[in-house]
Amino acid sequence: MNMQWDAETYGRDFSFVHRYGDGVAALIGAAPGSTVLDLGCGNGALTHRLRQSGFQVMGLDASPDLLSAARKSYPDIEFVLGDAVDFSLPEPVDVVFSNAVFHWIEKKCHPAMLACVSRALKPGGEFVFEFGGRGNTAWIEAALERAFSREGYRYQNPFFFPTIGEYAPMVEAAGFRVEYAQLFARPTPLQGEDGLGNWIRMFLKGPFEALPGPARQAVIRRAEAELRPVLCRDGQWYADYVRLRMKARKL
């Protein structure tokens, strides 16, 4: 999926994305000093955390804006512009790591992405990742479907949120043994009174392009009104995230 990232807003208002990455990074079993590719590294915050844990890291991302923010913040880390579904590395690495990226990739492109990951790893190398799993943002999506429909438009969920049963065979088919898999709910606090609206504006630019200008705000306001009793507690908005977390080993 092509998406224009606003690196400044992303870093300021959506820093939870990399903070939550620590849990999945804890699944890495490779020794300090091992080489780690952070696939879809974004602004590099998590790549930097991995380096602080003692790994030799590099980051790859398809967004020039996020990469230039990453290079500015961490000039001594190697960041490479590249597409997760079509990349190769000069030397294979010990670990490929990825957080909150794969749901952006269309289902039909995952076999190509998994083949690139497999080629990028040494035999026995670890593939550790987390992304949105089945049920992710289900309340938000349902409210948007209704709000779009009231305006006479159809909301199309642009994301791939698989179950373990759907995704583990895809990983295995790319030459991995799945060693760990978990699908779990993680309601995720959103920043500020307008947290839900800002989340929608930041991440759902694609579906909103179909709407004429005045309808956009109406849809967001309607979704907020519908979701407030479910996703807002004491003035704090939460996104109804569900995470699919896995560790697999290259055979």
For the bound state, the minimum distance from the C-beta of residue 241 to ligand BEZ, rounded and expressed in Å, comes to 5
* Contact yes or no for 76/136 (Cβ under 8 A): no
C-beta atoms surrounding 74 within 10 Å: 19
Binding status of residue 77 toward ligand BEZ by CB under 6 A = no
Binding status of residue 143 toward ligand BEZ by CB under 6 A = no
* Nearer of residues 55 and 155 to ligand BEZ, judged by Cβ: 155
CA distances from 129 to 148, 156, 182, 247 (A): 32, 25, 11, 7
Residue with tokens 């790591």: 97
Q: Tell me the window of 21-29, 46-54, 132-140, 221-229 that interacts with ligand BEZ (CB under 6 A).
A: 132-140
Amino acid identity of residue 125, one-letter, is G
Binding status of residue 136 toward ligand BEZ by CB under 6 A = yes
Q: Tell me the window of 107-115, 131-139, 141-149, 178-186 that interacts with ligand BEZ (CB under 6 A).
A: 131-139
Binding status of residue 103 toward ligand BEZ by CB under 6 A = yes
Task: Name the β-bridge partners of 233.
Answer: 236
Sign of CA dihedral 113, 204, 16, 67: positive
For the bound state, the minimum distance from the C-beta of residue 15 to ligand BEZ, rounded and expressed in Å, comes to 13
Using CB atoms within 10 Å of the CB of residue 169, give its burial: 0 to 12 exposed, 13 to 18 middle, 19+ buried: exposed
Tell me, residue by residue from 161 to 200, as one string, x for binding to ligand BEZ by CB under 6 A and - for no binding.
Answer: ----------------------------------------
Q: Tell me the window of 110-118, 129-137, 170-178, 219-227 that interacts with ligand BEZ (CB under 6 A).
A: 129-137
Binding status of residue 132 toward ligand BEZ by CB under 6 A = yes
Q: Strands, E, within 44-150: which ranges?
A: 56-61, 78-81, 93-99, 121-132
What is the binding site for ligand BEZ (CB under 6 A)?
100, 103, 132, 136-137, 159, 203, 241
